[in-house]
Chain A
């Protein structure tokens, strides 16, 4: 499954965070605003109440008090959605705004409101006929003599809170719109920032898109200017390309060499046969053509065997099919076989053994020794000596194959193990192989945890030293 794009991941995180912040701020602002508006309302109600209370304690007559109170309460009452009521605890109404106007009378009994303690007041919200009111309710017991001294007077002053509620609603709407805008902007901004931030990556992607197997060279790639954080990535990528390029070049060289080595004998066979077929020829000619073609086929077959062996070596598991090999026995057998061949070609093969055991594939180790000795015989000058020397050195078995031939220059020493690399390109193909023998030998040595090194100078000749880890 494709994972969520980075843009969306970060976008969603930022949006959720912004949403939480905006919501918290909105709730706080809403509460504060509501509280502030009710505080103003309460302040007015309380100041009315204290004015009424002052009047209640004067020595004036009831009628005068009533008149005063009415005057106080009427002067701020612009709206008929407000009013007042005063009644004694025994139930008799003392004063009510409905007496003189058609303003409604608030029924507080309906709204389960606990009565305040005598001498104290309380403010509360109440809904009457689907209209909201803010009210203050006080109970006074220390009344003047002119009023009923023994009784407790309830005073209720109320005013409509519709306006306040309307303001609060508007404020809430404003908050929601503002919050929405902030969230929306934050999403947009985040997207933009991400796009801007990820731009170097898309530049690199464009550059990567242009890279193909044919254009892996350092020179053909324009590295874009990238931020500091991305430069290790680009650098690592460039190095990867370099390694790939090298591998590709090697691969191309191998394919090119392999096709050359495989096609040349085929071309020779084909031309030989076509030529023989092109006109009437003596029997001897045909015989010669057939013999030569068979020889070429043999060479081709040998080459194919070697190539297959190389590719099989790549797939052999290190631990599979290993056994303890008596190297003294194996080396002496191989030497015995090759001393005959060496003698036929006018060389002498001298061998020195020592008892040693290694862990490995016996067929491969035999091949390794055979390739090295065969190589030594091929490159020896006429009538020269070849020696094979076994010795132990720090848990390692060293087998030195020495011949008196050739001088491999310093530069070429690592190249001779390359597949198809041939030192003397002018040498006769009929004696030499295609240049795979040494690379097979090296591969085998590496498979067994060892290596092959070469030393060469015109005076002493050439030595290949195989080192293999010994089995105790």
Chain B
């Protein structure tokens, strides 16, 4: 999963990014003003945007209005110090998916963000089952035949994204874009390495083909 944090308070923005990287193993990009924020949302495929309202350059509400007009449906959590009912209603009506006021609890922020991401992929439960493979996205663990599988951070990210897109073909480029933040150099052959180690870990006997390769299209996770 890859998220964007648009927040002008540099330290706060960095803290939020660190929370998601450490606790959720997400890729997180940070921008400190509205103009950069809008540009990033328009050009990069984020799974979630955390948006402050009082931003230099361009107001958060304007960003929301702009992206919704352009039919960009990325879930947006509005994170702001404004806490009047009018502000909340305006934030949600303009296209925000959730609203959290500062100061916030990091646990609550993470839980809300994950719920928004799940819902945007049509999932209501944080546990996804693919045959005997059980992925618990709250506890961050993967089990096959009730046996825990240890995955590296990147392997987990890749599997999590494929699980979210269960039953759909995910291209290498798409996978890449959702696993790495903006500052990483992206090489698509890295993906092939991750997928191959992932396959070995979740299906050591090669009896069940969880992750299928669709030639010239990408990968497909299904039962």
Interface residues of chain A, those whose CB is within 8 Å of chain B, are 214, 256, 259-264, 266-272, 274-275, 278-279, 292, 296, 424-429
Contact = CB atoms under 8 A, between A and B. Distances in A.
B54 interface: yes
27 contacts: A256-B84, A256-B87, A259-B83, A261-B81, A264-B9, A267-B9, A267-B12, A267-B102, A267-B103, A267-B104, A268-B9, A269-B103, A270-B106, A271-B16, A271-B19, A271-B106, A274-B105, A274-B106, A274-B107, A275-B18, A278-B22, A279-B22, A424-B56, A425-B8, A428-B10, A429-B8, A429-B9
B11 interface: yes
A248 to B, nearest CB: 13
Contacts of A261: 81
B102 A263 contact: yes
B82 interface: yes
Contacts of B84: 256
A432 to B, nearest CB: 11
- For chain B, the bracket of interface size reads 20 to 34
Interface in B38-95: 54-57, 80-84, 86-87
B146 to A, nearest CB: 27
A12 to B, nearest CB: 50
B103 A270 contact: yes
Contacts, number: 77
A213 to B, nearest CB: 11
B15 interface: yes
Contacts of B81: 259-264, 267
A259 B54 CA distance: 12
Interface in B1-37: 8-12, 15-16, 18-19, 22-23, 32-33
Nearest to A293: B11
Contacts of A426: 8, 32-33, 56-57
A427 B56 CA distance: 8
B120 interface: no
Contacts of B18: 275
A297 to B, nearest CB: 13
Nearest to B35: A426
B197 interface: no
Given A268-B11, A426-B33, 16 more contacts: A260-B54, A263-B102, A263-B103, A264-B12, A268-B9, A268-B15, A271-B15, A271-B19, A275-B18, A275-B19, A275-B106, A279-B22, A424-B56, A425-B8, A426-B56, A428-B10
Contacts of A424: 56
B33 A268 contact: no
A270 B11 contact: no
B102 A275 contact: no
Nearest to B23: A278
Nearest to A256: B82
Nearest to B54: A260
Nearest to B16: A271
Contacts of A428: 10
B11 A272 contact: yes
Nearest to A264: B9
Nearest to B15: A271
The 3 residue pairs across chains A and B that have the minimum distance between CB atoms = A426-B56, A425-B56, A267-B102
A211 to B, nearest CB: 17
Given A260-B81, A292-B11, A270 B57 contact: no
B20 to A, nearest CB: 11
A428 B9 CA distance: 9
B213 interface: no
A264 B81 CA distance: 7
A269 B103 CA distance: 9
B101 interface: yes
B114 to A, nearest CB: 16
A269 B15 CA distance: 10
A268 to B, nearest CB: 4
A266 B33 contact: no
